[in-house]
Every structure is written in structure tokens, then in C-alpha cells.
């Protein structure tokens, strides 16, 4: 026997001494009827959704079959593309290695040239410093001579005066 929410609402119980509180029972039955009605509606919605999903599932299976055959064809094309790409990569790697060797050799040559230039500049610096020292010594000696001449001239001027 299938009970409906209306059956729950219309049920009546006999009254006895020391029985249940009628208001509480009625309130409980009202709540139960409402909950039961919600469940019945949800059940109907689920049945409808299930039917729609079964149709979608059948369509999805057809699509899956088509996709599988397409995927196999695509996989063959991808494999061919991978092989071609690998060949191109190998060629590019060889070209890059040759270019790297050229760059490395050029960098070594440039480094050696710069090292020679640095050594030349260091030698020039040493020579320049020696020239400056020499000029300074010459100026120092000239100053000493000038001071001696000045002192001698002052002594002469002092004796004369």
C-alpha cells in the first residue's frame, strides 16, 4: 500500500485516557506530511533527471565511439609530426652546437686579445708612473737648487746691506 501526504494528513486516531497529546500528534503528522510531500516531489524529479541522463548517456556513448576513432587517426598524425619534429630538433641542435663552438672560439680569442691589451696598459702605467717620478725628482732638485740660490742671494744681500 502506497501512502500519500494526504493520507498522512487525514489519518485519525482514537482518543483514550492517558493517550498522546492530540495537538502534538497532529503537529507531528503535519510536519511528516510536508516532509513526505517534499520527498515524493524530489523522487519524481530524480526519476525525470535519471531518464534525461540515460538519454544523454546513450548519446555520449555514440560520441565516445566517434571520438575514439578520431583519436586513433589523430594519434597517427601526431606520431608522424613527432618524428618530423625530432628530425628538425636534431638538425637545430647540430647547428646550435656549431654556432656555440664558433662563439666559444671567438670569445677565447677576444679574451686573449683583452689580456694582451691589459698587459700593455699595465706596462704603460708603470712607464707613466716612472716618468712622473722622474719629473717630480727633477722638479725637486730644481727647487732645492733654487732654494740654495735664494739663501745664497739673501746672505749676499745681507752682507752688502
| Percent of the chain with pLDDT strictly greater than 70 | 96
* Positive/negative CA dihedral, 60, 66, 69, 72: negative
pTM (global) more than 0.85: no
Q: Is 1 helix (H, G, I), strand (E, B) or coil?
A: coil
Specify whether the CB–CB gap between 5 and 33 falls below 8 A: yes
Residue 11 has pLDDT above 80, yes or no: no
* Positive/negative CA dihedral, 130, 133, 139, 140: negative
- Residue 156: Cβ-neighbour burial (10 angstroms; 0-12, 13-18, 19+): exposed
Predicted pLDDT at 9: 76
Amino acid at each position: 500500500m502506497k501512502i500519500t501526504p494526504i493520507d498522512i494528513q487525514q489519518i485519525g486516531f482514537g482518543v483514550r485516557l492517558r493517550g498522546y497529546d492530540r495537538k502534538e500528534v497532529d503537529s507531528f503528522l503535519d510536519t511528516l506530511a510536508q516532509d513526505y510531500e517534499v520527498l515524493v516531489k524530489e523522487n519524481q524529479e530524480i526519476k525525470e533527471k535519471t531518464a534525461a541522463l540515460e538519454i544523454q548517456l546513450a548519446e555520449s556513448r555514440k560520441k565516445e565511439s566517434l571520438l575514439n576513432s578520431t583519436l586513433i587517426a589523430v594519434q597517427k598524425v601526431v606520431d608522424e609530426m613527432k618524428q618530423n619534429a625530432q628530425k628538425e630538433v636534431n638538425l637545430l641542435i647540430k647547428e646550435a652546437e656549431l654556432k656555440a663552438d664558433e662563439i666559444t672560439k671567438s670569445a677565447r680569442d677576444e679574451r686573449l686579445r683583452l689580456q694582451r691589451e691589459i698587459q700593455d696598459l699595465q706596462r704603460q702605467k708603470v712607464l707613466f708612473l716612472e716618468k712622473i717620478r722622474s719629473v717630480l725628482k727633477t722638479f725637486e732638485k730644481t727647487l732645492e737648487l733654487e732654494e740654495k740660490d735664494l739663501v745664497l742671494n739673501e746672505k749676499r744681500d745681507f752682507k752688502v746691506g
